[in-house]
Amino acid sequence: MDFIEAKTLLRKVKFEKKKWFGIDYIMNLYKGCNHGCIYCDSRSKRYFIQDFDKVRGKFGVEAILSKELRRYKRGIIDIGAMSDTYNPLEKRYCLTRNALEIIRDYDFGVSITTKSNLIERDADILEAIGKRYAVNIKFSITSADDKMASVIEPNVVPTSERLKAMKRLSEKGIFVGVLITPILPFLTDDINNIKSIVQLAHEYGAKFVYTKYGMTMSDGQREYYLKKLDDNFKGISRKYQYFYGKQYSCLSRNYNVLQEAFVDECNKYGLLYKMDDIIGSNKICSLYEQLSLFDV
């Protein structure tokens, strides 16, 4: 793996972004991602990531992060907004694991979105961070069907393996849930898919499920996505061009129906689905744990 220089790692989020799972900082330990999701927004030209499918690690993560955490106010760090931090190279290079150890030692919280079951390796540290402050782990699942997942997310474990990993983290008391984003028009926006994901989330220990009804498309990403549609799903790209043209936000055309089914299913299984409730529940857990430390 190639390494690139990094002067800083943490970026403070603007106030309104704190609404995203309560995060205070964003940090990427890798540049690029090789999971190959055909819809990936990070592939867009506006992020200026050359050779996106090639993963490069950041050099000197431990020293930079320790220095920043000494100075920064305690908060929740989101790892891997532009790149799944559990890419296959993490198994060998452990940038994420080392960063988590530092986050634990400085008493910060962490929020991670992943499609990989490699996260299970770090359950011990996540458990420790969750006991002291906040942890929320979002498993990104777009299709309940492994076959569909293997086409739209070709280089990462299928949905069934992600769910098993989620269950094992949940059994350790780690706050886990499912992120159903994006929902791909004409491919994954059918009601049975959404209902199945919510049901599976419940069966596999999720505390929450969060979704948005559509996808984004911008220059660079759009061309790549439409080409992959042509390679794998004949006739679908024409529908995109007809209904969405060059639009950035491509909202599922049946989103009202999906929303109703999604809410019904979440209520049926007692899953949190509103962002404020998810954030509140995560912080309440942390506060409870902190208070219980003083009871001993």
Sign of CA dihedral 245, 146, 277, 262: positive
Angle at 113 between CA 185 and CA 118, to 5 degrees: 115
Q: How far is the CB of 90 from ligand SF4 (least distance, A)?
A: 12
Can residue 40 be called a binding residue for ligand SF4 (CB under 6 A)? yes
Q: Of 21-29, 34-42, 260-268, 284-292, which segment contacts ligand SF4 by CB under 6 A?
A: 34-42
The CA–CA distances, whole Å, from 66 to 15, 107, 115, 137 equal: 24, 12, 27, 22
Nearest to ligand SF4 of 60, 154 (CB atom): 154
Can residue 217 be called a binding residue for ligand SF4 (CB under 6 A)? no
Using CA atoms, how far apart are residues 182 and 188, in angstroms rounded to an integer? 9
Nearest to ligand SF4 of 33, 184 (CB atom): 33
What are φ and ψ of residue 44, in 5° steps? -60, 145
Q: How far is the CB of 81 from ligand SF4 (least distance, A)?
A: 8
Can residue 31 be called a binding residue for ligand SF4 (CB under 6 A)? no
Number of amino acids touching ligand SF4 (CB under 6 A): 8
Return the structure tokens found at 148. 């569909």
Using CA atoms, how far apart are residues 162 and 45, in angstroms rounded to an integer? 29
Using CA atoms, how far apart are residues 155 and 159, in angstroms rounded to an integer? 12
Can residue 159 be called a binding residue for ligand SF4 (CB under 6 A)? no
Binds ligand SF4 (CB under 6 A): choice among 24, 84, 90, 189: 84
Site residues for ligand SF4, 111-130, by CB under 6 A, read 115
Nearest to ligand SF4 of 78, 84 (CB atom): 84
Using CA atoms, how far apart are residues 116 and 139, in angstroms rounded to an integer? 8
Q: How far is the CB of 256 from ligand SF4 (least distance, A)?
A: 26
109: closest CA among 17, 27, 39, 222?
Answer: 27
Using CA atoms, how far apart are residues 162 and 177, in angstroms rounded to an integer? 11
Nearest to ligand SF4 of 49, 110 (CB atom): 49
In the shown chain, the binding pattern of residues 85 to 114 toward ligand SF4, with x for contact by CB under 6 A and - for none, equals ------------------------------
Q: For binding to ligand SF4 (CB under 6 A), which residues are involved?
A: 33, 35, 37, 40, 42, 83-84, 115
